[in-house]
């Protein structure tokens, strides 16, 4: 039993409860992210969570408005709020699955009733965060003088929460994880139960536990968006999920149906049966078809697609398949007599599936003596094996989806498709080797042009002046395959390409001696500007087209690794005029969602959290420095977190491990920093100094972090972990100090600002995540790190301003 506020000192049970409660909040957030990404797309998760997290800001507002009321009742209110947030965690997801508020992001802009449903989802998922944050905020206010210790407990708990989720999702489906997580805040509430309203607390605890158990045993039915590929596939006759498994990479489903066939863009000259294959889905999205490999097969279905291009040019004895997914390109290489094929697959669960449960379905493809399956993200594989292995064919998968992805992957970092990645591939090519990459033909042309500009820049960077002699491309009715060769394409090869194209009703698009009429012999394009763009990219310095084209078609780089991001802010209005506003989202949904998320979180935070409190009379003097200081900290912390995640995705090779490593290490280290700050007496001076130290570290990172990570990326795992720990923990340790020092400062100078500070910090953190994405896309990571640095300088300035106003 805790008594407030008479005993504001150190309280081990409260610390434990706070830590456990913090574990739950971060775990709930991450599982919710996973769940919403599964039933919808990760952008939906992003939108919902960004609004839900404003619960932190709103709780701060409420505490400021009714500070005395809350403090007076804190003894029973804190445990009660914890239990309520647990209850909310258990029930919100099942409620959100009710027909009346089920929402579909895909038709948000075409069906008006989706908007109230979206709003209902916002409100629903806001609740657990709001109640949870209210409990934390109250603890911080009451223990402001010992904030360092309590903030440590909060951050350490959050750090552990990140690791817990990773373990949980390996064994449970996300819908089962919710009730388990929901028990944690309830336990926290029980740990610090209050004698007052004891019956109410017991009743609420009982209800929460009972509901959690119920939903764990009988989780709600999951209906995924009818526009996701899994849903579409399940409408086929006799479609059946023959395997399902939760994994840290997402939920894996294997579906079979006599109507699932795989033959992407197959030639119209193909007159045989298109093979039926079971398909693997990851989080409801098509991941790949399981090929039934046959060494003695007379043909491979890919021989009738443009992807056969490298094999008709020459023999390919050693092949590297990047992003090999379920191994269709590996099977193709084997059927084309490759002696050795390496396949890099980032998803261990899929590898296991094809090596074990589905080994028979693929005729033991992944156990074939001529292939080597490597569990690694493609870029990490390139980095590690640069200078060690060489190939005469490196193949990238078919990009984009048939009919387009509606830009749903726009903001995924794709380090395997940056100019730096292509350089690594180039260096690993044998003298007559080729890199091939294919794409669905898109309209307006974007993916195809970006691939081509990347290949042209690659040629230029390797001092090839006559790129048109090194690059070839052929096009079918639906796909295009580009190949770049280290040595010039010779006459025999061009003749083979022409003959093959004729047989398959394909058209050559790029050949050293291409004639204009050849490009549309079988597949006529009414809008032929695609060829003009191709020629301009090939034969000019590309500056004009990069600048003038309606979409980003400049190659992606490690600094801006968003290959699938094409939308540019300045052409939004023009494209809306051309296609109509309703169709804009389907050109690139991902970018628009982030833009929308930023605008809505900014407006909501401003309207309901920052402005009301700014005009509240009782908040006293020094409002501007409080706003600046805690706002800058919220912005700076999130920007650094996002930069580190992006840098370490490249370093570790997989987003899941990078996100877990960065978030958990940062939070734990910041917790340690916070604890350390509790020993500091000269609060104001130290707060200024610490912010300067952080700005200094960020300055060093802006210059030196990338080269250091690049130098150690190919090292042994243990060394990599040590490097990661040092470079994540160092700034995070200091970054854990300014917030508690600031709160401590307020507890001495203006206690009424504490709740507000908590609210501002929470709100700005939310705004910062979408803002950082937009800045990264438009300006690159260097700009993001510069803004983070400026934020900490701003916090330093705000502390100085406090002194002038208050002292």
Partner 1 sequence: MKSRSISTFSFLSLVPMAILLSCILLISFTDDFRQQREQMVRRQLQARGITDSRTIEAMRNTERHRFVPAGQQRFAYEDRPLPIGHGQTISQPYIVAYMTQIIEPKSHYRVLEIGTGSGYHAAVLSEIVDEVFTIEIIEALGKQADEVIDRLGYDNIHVKTADGYYGWEEHAPFDAIVVTAAAEYIPPPLVEQLKEGGKMIIPVGSPFRVQQLMLVEKKDGRITTRNLMPVRFVPFRRADN
Q: How many angstroms separate the CA atoms of 142 and 758, rounded?
A: 13
User: How large is the C-alpha radius of gyration of the chain?
Assistant: 28
Residue 449 Cβ, how far from partner 1 at the closest point, in Å? 9
Near partner 1 by CB under 8 A: residue from 3, 98, 214, 226: 226
Residue closer to partner 1 by CB (options 229, 352) is 229
Map residue 288 onto helix, strand or coil: strand
Q: Which residues pair with 483 in a beta bridge?
A: 436, 472
Smallest CA-to-CA distance from 472 within 518, 440, 503 is with 518
Applying CB under 8 A, which part among 132-140, 270-278, 641-649, 660-668 lies near partner 1? 270-278
Interface mask toward partner 1 for 445-484; x: CB under 8 A: x-------------------------------xx------
Interacting stretch for partner 1, rule CB under 8 A, among 76-84, 254-262, 488-496, 723-731?
254-262
Q: Which of 101, 120, 190, 525 is close enough to bind partner 1 by CB under 8 A?
A: 525
Q: How far is the CB of 201 from partner 1 (least distance, A)?
A: 45
When binding is defined by CB under 8 A, the residue of 135, 209, 421, 587 that contacts partner 1 is: 587
Ordered DSSP codes for 336-395: TT-SEEEEEES-HHHHHHHHTTTTTTTTTGGG-TTEEEEES-HHHHHHHHTTT--EEEEE
Q: Which of 65, 213, 406, 801 binds partner 1 (CB under 8 A)?
A: 406
The reply to whether 578 sits near partner 1 by the rule CB under 8 A is yes
Instruction: Single out the segment in contact with partner 1 by CB under 8 A; choices: 51-59, 229-237, 459-467, 703-711.
Output: 229-237
Q: Are 323 and 295 in contact (CB under 8 A)?
A: no
Q: Does 569 bind partner 1 (CB under 8 A)?
A: no
Q: Which is nearer to partner 1, 257 or 669 (CB)?
A: 257
The residue among 10 and 299 lying less far from partner 1, judged by its C-beta, is 299
Closest to 670 in 3D by CA, of 161, 155, 162: 155
Interface with partner 1 (CB under 8 A), residue from 10, 115, 402, 539: 402
Of 568 and 654, nearer to partner 1 (C-beta) is 568
DSSP 466: -
Q: Name which position in 487, 579, 607, 621 contacts partner 1 (CB under 8 A).
A: 579
Contact 229, 285 (CB under 8 A): yes
Residue 328 CB, shortest distance to partner 1, in Å, is 12
How many binding residues for partner 1 (CB under 8 A)? Answer: 62
Lookup: tokens for 774: 């937009």
Return the residue of 270, 531, 614, 657 that touches partner 1, per CB under 8 A.
270
Shortest distance, position 751 Cβ to partner 1, whole Å: 53
Is position 581 an interface residue for partner 1 (rule: CB under 8 A)? no
What backbone phi and psi angles, to 5 degrees, belong to 393? Answer: -155, 125
Answer for which of 123, 210, 259, 624 binds partner 1 (CB under 8 A) is 259
Distances (CA, A) of 293 to 343, 347, 394, 416: 15, 20, 20, 26
Asked if residue 261 binds partner 1 (CB under 8 A), the reply is yes
Pick 228 or 745: Cβ nearer partner 1? 228
- Counting every residue, how long is the chain? 807
If the CB atoms of residues 183 and 592 are measured against partner 1, the closer one turns out to be: 592
Range in contact with partner 1 (rule: CB under 8 A) among 348-356, 397-405, 453-461, 739-747? 397-405
Q: Check residue 218 for interaction with partner 1 (CB under 8 A).
A: no
Span of 326-334, 403-411, 641-649, 789-797 interacting with partner 1 by CB under 8 A? 403-411
Contact with partner 1 (CB under 8 A) among 494, 571, 600, 712: 571
**Which of the stretches 52-60, 572-580, 656-664, 778-786 binds partner 1 when contact is defined by CB under 8 A?**
572-580
**To the nearest whole angstrom, how small is the minimum distance from the Cβ of residue 257 to partner 1?**
9
- Long-range Cβ contact pairs of 540-546 (< 8 A, separation 24 or more): 542/453, 542/456, 542/457, 546/453
Residues 302 and 320: their CA atoms lie apart, in Å, by 16
Sequence-ordered list of residues with C-beta below 8 angstroms from that of 283, at least 6 positions apart, any chain: 34, 37, 38, 250, 251
Residues 6+ apart with CB under 8 A from 246: 169, 170, 171, 172, 173, 174, 252
Which of positions 91-110 make contact with partner 1 (CB under 8 A)? 106-107, 110
How far, in Å, CA of 124 to CA of 118, rounded? Answer: 10
User: Is 531 a binder of partner 1 (CB under 8 A)?
Assistant: no
Alpha-helical (H) ranges within 302-347 are 309-313, 328-335
- State in Å, rounded, how far the first CA of the chain is from the last one: 39
Name which position in 231, 352, 372, 390 contacts partner 1 (CB under 8 A): 231
- At residue 697's C-alpha, the angle toward residues 624 and 650, to 5°, is 110
Question: Binding segment for partner 1 among 9-17, 567-575, 701-709, 755-763 (CB under 8 A)?
Answer: 567-575
Contact predicate 497/461, CB 8 Å: no
DSSP-derived secondary structure for 160-219: HHHHHHHHHHHHS-HHHHHHHHHHHHHHHHHHT--STTHHHHHHHHHHHHHHHHHHHHSP
Q: Does 266 bind partner 1 (CB under 8 A)?
A: yes
Does the footprint of partner 1 cover residue 227 (CB under 8 A)? yes
- Quick one: which segment of 126-134, 366-374, 543-551, 759-767 binds partner 1 (CB under 8 A)? 543-551
**Is position 624 an interface residue for partner 1 (rule: CB under 8 A)?**
no
Q: Name which of 522 and 657 has its Cβ closer to partner 1.
A: 522
DSSP H or E stretch at residue 485: strand 479-485
**Cβ contacts of 700 within 8 Å, gap of 6 or more:** none
Q: Least distance from C-beta 570 to partner 1, angstroms?
A: 7
Which span sits near partner 1 by CB under 8 A: 168-176, 508-516, 521-529, 622-630?
521-529
Using the minimum distance from each CB to partner 1, give the nearer residue, 582 or 611. Answer: 582
**Token pair for 708:** 């250091």
Residue whose structure tokens are 């690594």: 424
Asked if 28 is part of the footprint of partner 1 (rule: CB under 8 A), the reply reads no
Q: Given candidates 8, 444, 612, 779, which one binds partner 1 under the rule CB under 8 A?
A: 444
CB burial of residue 711 (10 Å; 0-12, 13-18, 19+): exposed
- For partner 1, the binding residue among 273, 465, 541, 717 (CB under 8 A) is 273
8 Å CB contact between 513 and 494: yes
Which residues contact partner 1 (rule: CB under 8 A)? 106-107, 110-111, 225-228, 231-232, 235-237, 258-259, 261-266, 268-274, 402-404, 406, 441, 443-445, 477-478, 505, 522-527, 529, 533, 545, 547-551, 570-571, 574, 578-579, 582-583, 586-587
């Amino acid at each position: 039993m805790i008594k407030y506020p008479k005993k504001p000192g150190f309280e081990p049970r409260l610390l434990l409860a706070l830590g456990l409660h913090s574990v739950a909040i971060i775990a709930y957030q991450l599982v919710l992210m996973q769940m919403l990404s599964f039933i919808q797309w990760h952008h939906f998760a992003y939108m919902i969570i960004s609004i839900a997290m404003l619960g932190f800001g709103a709780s701060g507002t409420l505490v400021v408005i009714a500070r005395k009321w809350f403090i007076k009742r804190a003894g029973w209110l804190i445990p009660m709020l914890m239990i309520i947030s647990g209850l909310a965690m258990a029930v919100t997801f099942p409620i959100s699955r009710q027909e009346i508020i089920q929402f579909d992001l895909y038709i948000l802009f075409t069906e008006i009733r989706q908007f109230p449903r979206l709003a209902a989802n916002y409100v629903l998922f806001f609740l657990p965060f709001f109640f949870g944050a209210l409990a934390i905020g109250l603890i911080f206010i009451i223990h402001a003088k010992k904030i360092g210790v309590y903030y440590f407990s909060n951050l350490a708990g959050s750090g552990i929460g990140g690791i817990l989720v990773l373990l949980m999702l390996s064994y449970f489906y996300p819908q089962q994880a919710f009730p388990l997580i929901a028990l944690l805040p309830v336990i926290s509430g029980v740990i610090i139960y209050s004698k007052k309203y004891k019956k109410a607390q017991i009743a609420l605890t009982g209800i929460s536990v009972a509901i959690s158990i119920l939903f764990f045993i009988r989780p709600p039915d999951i209906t995924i968006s009818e526009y996701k590929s899994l849903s579409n596939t399940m409408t086929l006759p006799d479609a059946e999920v023959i395997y399902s498994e939760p994994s840290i990479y997402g939920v894996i489903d294997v579906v079979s149906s006599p109507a699932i066939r795989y033959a992407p863009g197959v030639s119209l000259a193909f007159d045989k049966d298109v093979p039926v294959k079971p398909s693997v889905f990851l989080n409801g999205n098509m991941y790949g078809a399981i090929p039934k490999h046959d060494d003695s097969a007379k043909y491979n279905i890919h021989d009738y697609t443009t992807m056969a291009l490298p094999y008709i040019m020459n023999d390919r004895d050693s092949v590297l398949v990047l992003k090999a997914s379920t191994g269709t390109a590996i099977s193709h290489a084997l059927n084309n007599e490759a002696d050795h094929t390496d396949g890099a697959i980032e998803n261990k669960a899929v590898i296991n599936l094809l090596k074990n449960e589905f080994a028979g379905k693929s005729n033991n493809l992944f156990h074939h003596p001529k292939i080597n399956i490597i569990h690694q993200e493609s870029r990490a594989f390139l980095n590690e094996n640069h200078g060690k292995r060489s190939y005469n064919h490196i193949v990238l998968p078919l990009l984009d989806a048939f009919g387009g992805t509606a830009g749903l992957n726009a903001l995924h970092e794709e380090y395997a498709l940056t100019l730096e990645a292509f350089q690594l591939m180039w260096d690993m090519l044998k003298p007559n080797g080729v890199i091939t990459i294919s794409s669905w033909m898109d309209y307006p042309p974007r993916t195809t042009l970006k691939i081509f500009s990347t290949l042209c820049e690659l040629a230029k960077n390797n001092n090839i002046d006559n790129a048109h002699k090194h690059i070839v491309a052929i096009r079918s009715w639906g796909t295009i395959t580009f190949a770049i060769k280290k040595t010039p394409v010779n006459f025999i090869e061009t003749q083979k390409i022409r003959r093959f194209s004729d047989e398959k009703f394909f058209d050559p698009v790029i050949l050293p001696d291409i004639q204009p009429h050849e490009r549309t012999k079988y597949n006529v394009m009414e809008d032929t500007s695609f060829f003009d763009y191709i020629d301009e990219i090939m034969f000019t310095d590309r500056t004009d087209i990069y600048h003038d084209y309606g979409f980003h078609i400049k190659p992606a780089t490690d600094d801006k690794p968003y290959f699938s991001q094409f939308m540019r802010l300045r052409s939004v209005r023009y494209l809306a005029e051309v296609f109509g506003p309703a169709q804009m989202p389907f050109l690139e949904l991902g970018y628009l969602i982030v833009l929308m998320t930023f605008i809505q979180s900014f407006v909501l935070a401003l309207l309901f959290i920052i402005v009301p409190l700014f005009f509240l009379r009782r908040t006293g003097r020094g409002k501007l420095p409080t706003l600046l200081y805690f706002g800058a900290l919220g912005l700076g912390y999130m920007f650094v977190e996002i930069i580190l995640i992006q840098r370490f995705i490249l370093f570790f090779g997989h987003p899941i491990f990078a996100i877990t490593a960065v978030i958990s290490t940062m939070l734990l280290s910041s917790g340690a920093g916070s604890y350390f700050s509790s020993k500091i007496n000269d609060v104001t001076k130290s707060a200024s100094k610490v912010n300067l130290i952080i700005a200094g570290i960020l300055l060093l990172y802006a210059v030196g972090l990338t080269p250091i990570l690049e130098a150690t990326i190919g090292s042994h795992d243990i060394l990599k972990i040590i490097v990661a720990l040092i470079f994540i923990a160092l700034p995070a340790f200091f970054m854990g100090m300014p917030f508690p020092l600031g709160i401590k400062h307020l507890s001495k100078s203006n206690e009424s600002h504490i709740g507000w500070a908590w609210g501002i910090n929470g709100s700005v953190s939310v705004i910062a995540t979408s803002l950082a994405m937009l800045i990264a896309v438009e300006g690159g990571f260097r700009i993001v790190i510069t803004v983070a640095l400026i934020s900490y300088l701003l916090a330093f300035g705000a502390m100085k301003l406090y002194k002038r106003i208050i002292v």
